[in-house]
Amino acid sequence: MADIAAQLIQEFNLKPFQVQNTMKLVDEGCTIPFIARYRKEQTGELNDQVLRELHERLVYLRNLESRREDVRRLIDEQGKLTPDISPALDKCRSMQEIEDIYRPFKPKRRTRASVAREKGLEELAGILFAQNIKSGEISDVAGKFVDAAKGVNNVDEALAGAMDIIAEEVSDDAANRKTIRDLFYRHGMLVSKALKQEDSVYRMYYDFREPVARVAKHRILAVNRGEKEEFLKVSIEVPEELVLASLKARTIKRDSSITTEYVERAVSDSYKRLIAPSIEKEVRNELTESAGEQAMRVFAENLRNLLMQPPVKGRVVLGLDPAYRTGCKIAVVNDTGKVMATTVIYPTPPQNKTEEAEKTMLHLVEKYGVDIVSIGNGTASKESEIFVANSLKKISRKVCYMVVSEAGASVYSASKLGADEFPEFDVSLRSAVSIARRLQDPLAELVKIDPKAIGVGQYQHDMNQRKLSDTLGGVVEDCVNSVGIDLNTASPSLLSYVSGINSAVAKNIVEYRDEIGHFKSRKELKKVKKLGDKAFEQCAGFLRIHDGKNVLDDTSVHPESYGAAEKLLGIMGYTLDDVKNRKMGDLPKEIERKGIASIAEAVGVGVPTLRDIISELLKPGRDPRDELPQPILLTDVLDIADLKPGKVLTGTVRNVADFGAFVDIGVHQDGLVHISEMADRFVKDPMEIVSVGDIVKVRVLSVDNTRKRISLSMKGI
């Protein structure tokens, strides 16, 4: 344990207390959001992202230690744990190094070498490999091992079997494999060739080669998918003579021997038949894993920014799920998200019942006081947008519309959750509700959908799905807890992401809420079935009660700090009523004048916790998303045909990838700002410049109407 802590301290460049306390808190069952928000003194104010990386690395190192001891035990049980092996295991810093050491002792399927050993040729292999015989005939050496009864009929068969044994031993040598793996990384070329000549999205990889050491991670995932879909043949090419020279330098003795020739042949066979295919597979797996981790980071950051989009509060929204033959589904939801009306209209081909559809939609807009129309961006979106824009011009008051991503809406609508929430609606009407609500509160609605289906990643189906789910689940958890959840309105889906609450407890909270009407204080949570003291500690600070008995219940001040908050108010001459009525004067300056450290000591908390308490007392009920730029609302439609090179537009970043960003400029087809067009300087990572949800100005570079591709630039704007 001490070694793991020391390694984490070094790797993360942290102080010992930060790592040791974090490990202790994790082992006590504390969640990352809770540790990040309410244990700042213990962790030295580490944020949730660093804490997650630290926790992930801690799990890896503990698994590494467990595997190290397993391998030590397995080798020892074979009676082969030599004084050299144990220290070598202790020095291993990766799973691969441990597996390399275990390789010679690992039970194998029947191989050419194992067959040769069964024939009694291991001794001959040792004689050949020693390279000590300076003169004589090789037949005299190998002839002693010819034994027809054992299946060795002549000298050539004896030598062939011995060389098979040498080849396997060379392949199983951990140092040899490490050396060759390094050569693959330093001198290898990732190569892809076309298996088909038909046009495809993989055309740029039909004759592609790039050094392994420099290949872009998104290209690794691209060629992998092309290989999987049988468009490409992918390999790693390494100069064979370079690798063999290195391998022979480690195995061939300088002094000539009559056995050296056979060792050289065995070494060549070992590399070509055993080592090269194995190392190539390992290196490609490692490249894929590294590329997958980068893609997960991109996906996670995009998801974080999408979930933290500012809600459009206090507006009545009409959600429209576009379609052709089956019609456009409509759902009107009021400012609290309650469904007021649903219907289906047919303004698109083949029905083209535009007048009837317009009459129906405008009736709903007027009847329910609709402020915004939220249009899904799927099939028939452009036709629906034109219809909506033209219809809204006939209303005297201003009603806007916005095209929103409907990624995952169909997943939600066909899920058990969707059926439980709206059993009376068919699948398509549930999608319309989701499209409306995700404009009102993206976080509350999108948590109902598997994060992988939200559509802000790249190559997500090619990644380690379990790790991807864990990573994205952590992002959702962090977002939900950083915003805070209304205990009296939150859905079970939203509650299940709150620190310390699982899906079963979330359902119990809703059931209890249905019984009592609504929660009046956080303390009532303790009456919920299966919500014990530990769960209460972990979740209470992230749950809000608006207009409750205690205004602190509408802040992120944890109940364990209520006494400190009240003591602070008393010292500074304020009351809880002042907090509720937002009559706190200039509390931060007053505290700074008196000395924040001395006041922290007086109220019995650390300075970081005191600063958080002060912030919450100033703005009870605060939603951090409200401080972000609001989404762009439209009143008129723009067509791709209207785009000309040089035209400057304002758009919303919908997705960020390693190679650039996709921007919605209101023409149904997102445009691409390539990484080279993001700034007047070199950009290594697009996320240095933009994030999902950012409002940006772009200039049109080119438009390909046939392929529906729009190239944009952010340079010089």
Full-model pTM: 0.84
Q: How confident is the model at residue 615 (pLDDT cuts 50, 70, 90)?
A: very high
Q: Which CATH architecture has domain 112-188+238-299?
A: Orthogonal Bundle (1.10)
Residues 104-127: tens digit of each pLDDT: 999 888 999 999 999 999 999 999
Give the separation between CA 164 and CA 166, rounded to whole angstroms: 5
Q: From the options 2.120.10.90, 1.10.10.10, 1.10.10.650, 3.40.50.1820, give the CATH code of 2-105.
A: 1.10.10.650
Mean pLDDT of the chain: 93
Alpha helices in 212-321 (DSSP H): 217-228, 240-251, 260-269, 276-307
pLDDT tens by residue, 419-451? 988 999 988 899 999 999 999 999 999 999 888
CB atoms within 10 A of CB 274: 19
More confident residue, 496 or 409: 496
Domain with CATH 2.40.50.140 in the chain: 640-713
pLDDT in tens, 490-510: 999 999 999 999 999 999 999
Answer whether 522's CB lies under 8 Å from 581's CB: no
Q: Output the CATH code of domain 512-627.
A: 1.10.150.310
User: In the chain, what are the helix, strand and coil shares in percent, each to the nearest 5?
Assistant: 55, 10, 35
- pLDDT over 90 percentage in the chain: 81
Cα–chain-centroid distance for residue 490?
Answer: 25
Residues 6+ apart with CB under 8 A from 67: 95, 98
User: How much is the pLDDT for 252?
Assistant: 93
* Residue range(s) in the chain whose domain bears CATH number 1.10.150.310: 512-627
What spatial distance separates the first Cα and last Cα of the chain, rounded to whole Å? 54
Within 13 Å of residue 278, how many CA atoms lie on the same side as its CB?
18
**Residue ranges of the chain assigned to CATH 1.10.10.650:** 2-105
Whole-angstrom distance, CA of residue 510 vs CA of residue 505: 9
Task: Say what the pLDDT of residue 2 is.
Answer: 60
What is the CATH number that goes with domain 317-475?
3.30.420.140
| Beta-ladder partners of 376 | 404
Q: What is the pLDDT of residue 377?
A: 87
The secondary element (H helix, E strand) that includes residue 709 is strand 709-713
CATH class for the region spanning 640-713: mainly beta
The answer to whether the CB of 352 falls within 8 A of the CB of 366 is no
Element (H, E) at 566: helix 562-572
Residue 160 tokens, joined: 């062939």
Look at residue 628 in the predicted model and tell me its pLDDT. 73
Confidence of residue 632 (pLDDT cuts 50, 70, 90): confident
Q: Is the pLDDT of residue 710 over 60?
A: yes
248 pLDDT band (50/70/90 cuts)?
very high
Quickly state the pLDDT bin for 235 (edges 50, 70, 90): very high
**CA-to-CA separations, 417 to 507, 508, 557, in angstroms, rounded:** 12, 16, 32
In whole angstroms, what is the distance from residue 343 CA to residue 326 CA? 12
pLDDT of residue 631: 79
CATH 1.10.3500.10 domain locations along the chain = 112-188+238-299
What dihedral do alpha carbons 78, 80, 86, 88 form, nearest 10°? -110
636: pLDDT strictly greater than 80: no
Q: Is the pLDDT of residue 1 over 60?
A: no
Mean pLDDT on 142-148: 94
pLDDT, tens digit, 9 for 90 and up, residues 31-89: 999 999 999 999 999 999 999 999 999 999 999 999 999 999 999 999 999 999 999 99
**Nearest Cα to 514, choosing from 528, 494, 531, 501?**
528
Strand runs labelled E in 525-647: 543-544
Sequence-ordered list of residues with C-beta below 8 angstroms from that of 76, at least 6 positions apart, any chain: none
User: Side by side, which strands form the sheet with 372-376?
Assistant: 339-345, 328-333, 317-321, 372-376, 400-404
pLDDT exceeds cutoff 60 at 224: yes
